[in-house]
C-alpha cells in the first residue's frame, strides 16, 4: 500500500510542472495599431471629428499603452482644444499604472501640471455630456 501511495504522489508531483505550463498560453500584447475603439464608447462634448480618436485613446489607456495614449490625447487636443475629456485622458495616461503603487514626485508634478493647464480659462465647449460637465466644473 505504501508503494502505491508513493507512486501516485510521485506521478502527481512530476505532472504539476506540465499542467502549470499548459496554463501559460501565448497571450502576447497587441500592438497599439491593433487596439481599436470598437468596444469603447464614451459620450463627450468633444468635436464629432475626434470621437473615434478619443475612443481609441481610451482603449489605449485601458490597455496600459500609456505613451501611445498620451500621443493620442495630445493629437485630439491639437484638433479640438475645447475637449476637456482629452485633458482627463492625458492626466490619467501620465499617471500611469494605477496598480504600480506610489508615484514618484516627477509623475505627480506632471499630472498636477496637466490639471492646472485645464483649469486655465479657455474657450469653453458646451458641457452637454455628463462626464464633461463634471470635468468643466472641476
User: What's the pTM?
Assistant: 0.56
- Read off the C-alpha cell for 88: 482627463
**Residue found by looking up cell 496554463 in the block:** 23
Provide Rg for the chain, Cα atoms: 23
pLDDT value at residue 30? 62
- Read off the C-alpha cell for 10: 510521485
What's the average pLDDT block by block, 10 residues per block, for the chain (138 residues)? 77 65 56 64 89 91 90 95 91 82 76 70 52 52
pLDDT value at residue 138? 47
User: What are the domain boundaries of the chain?
Assistant: 46-138
pLDDT value at residue 115? 72
pLDDT value at residue 33? 61
Q: Which of 50, 53, 56, 51 is nearest to 37 (CA)?
A: 56
pLDDT value at residue 89? 92
Amino acid at each position: 500500500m505504501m508503494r502505491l501511495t508513493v507512486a501516485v504522489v510521485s506521478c502527481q508531483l512530476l505532472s504539476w510542472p506540465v499542467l502549470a505550463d499548459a496554463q501559460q498560453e501565448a497571450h502576447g500584447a497587441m500592438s497599439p495599431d491593433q487596439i481599436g475603439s470598437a468596444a469603447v464608447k464614451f459620450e463627450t462634448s468633444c468635436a464629432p471629428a475626434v470621437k473615434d480618436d478619443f475612443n481609441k485613446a481610451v482603449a489605449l489607456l485601458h490597455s496600459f499603452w500609456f505613451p501611445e495614449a498620451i500621443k493620442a490625447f495630445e493629437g485630439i487636443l491639437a484638433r479640438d482644444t475645447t475637449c476637456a475629456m482629452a485633458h482627463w485622458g492625458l492626466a490619467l495616461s501620465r499617471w500611469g499604472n494605477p496598480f504600480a503603487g506610489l508615484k514618484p514626485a516627477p509623475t505627480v508634478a506632471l499630472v498636477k501640471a496637466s490639471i492646472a493647464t485645464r483649469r486655465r480659462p479657455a474657450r469653453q465647449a458646451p458641457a452637454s455630456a455628463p462626464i464633461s460637465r463634471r470635468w468643466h466644473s472641476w
